Amino acid sequence: MFSMADHLESAESRRPRLGILFSGRGSNCQAIVAAVNSGHIPAEIGLLVSNREHAPGVAWARQQQLPLRIIASAGREREEYDREVVASLREQGVDWVCLAGFMRLLSAYFIAAYRNRILNIHPSLLPAFPGLEAQRQALEYGVRYSGCTVHLVDESLDGGPIIAQAVVPVLDTDDETALAARILEQEHRLYAEALRYMLSGGYYLQGRRLLRAPAPSATG
Ligand code: GAR
């Protein structure tokens, strides 16, 4: 017999469920799914959401038969849209949300619904070059190093506490495409690492700083 206690225990002990939101190519989404499938990230895929029906990532997700919802955002009011997305994520029991090239700002409602459980990846060393076309901004500024950042999402634009960063040198021969491609390689690796770290729970927040929690001592 399957008792209520068994049921509660299995819900408690299940792996954390991820929601992944994207708008375009979806290569970061694919990297996260691959890391989940290989067991590198101890989680389950709860739901993929695209706000664009014709995003290349959508075709891929369909091919893989992943749980997917297209929730088109064009012309919709921000919070009203976010309420539908959050409801869909909750329906699938999603615990953590990964923004993977999701080109929309989240409302305060969404951020509060998943406070400190929404991650984003951005193709620069934040706080440098937030917003759109970060690689182009880096080239135009003339920095020698750029890279990518995984951070928690708060109400500011690309401004939440930083989880992890990877540095990529800017070469004299770089154009936007070449630099973006080398950064993207690092993004795929970094996103999986950062997510794995967050799911381990071994951290705490001190103001903006995300610090590694000391390991519990053997004697307690
Ligand atoms: C990635 O480079 C990601 O860092 C960037 O969009 C690209 C999406 O690629 N995100 C932002 O600029 C967010 N501010 P993908 O669809 O192949 O993952």
Q: What is the mean pLDDT of residues 176-201?
A: 98
For residue 65, what are its two tokens? 């038969």
> What predicted TM-score, i.e. pTM, was given to this entire model?
0.93
For residue 96, what are its two tokens? 């953590």
CB 187 less than 6 A from any atom of ligand 1: yes
Instruction: Go through the domains of the chain in sequence order and give each one's CATH number.
Output: 16-115 (3.40.50.170), 120-149+166-203 (3.40.50.170)
Cβ neighbours for 122, distance < 8 A, ≥ 6 positions apart: 130, 134, 148, 149, 151, 158
Return the closest-CA partner of residue 49 out of 14, 121, 107, 101.
Answer: 101
CB 119 less than 6 A from any atom of ligand 1: no
Return the closest-CA partner of residue 129 out of 180, 174, 172.
Answer: 180
pLDDT for 32-58, tens place per residue? 999 999 999 999 999 999 999 999 999
For residue 178, what are its two tokens? 């070449």
Q: Which residue has the higher pLDDT, 6 or 63?
A: 63
| Residues belonging to the active site | 122
Q: Which residue has the higher pLDDT, 42 or 7?
A: 42
Cβ neighbours for 155, distance < 8 A, ≥ 6 positions apart: 108, 111
Ligand 1 centre to CA of 80 (Å) is: 24
CB 129 less than 6 A from any atom of ligand 1: no
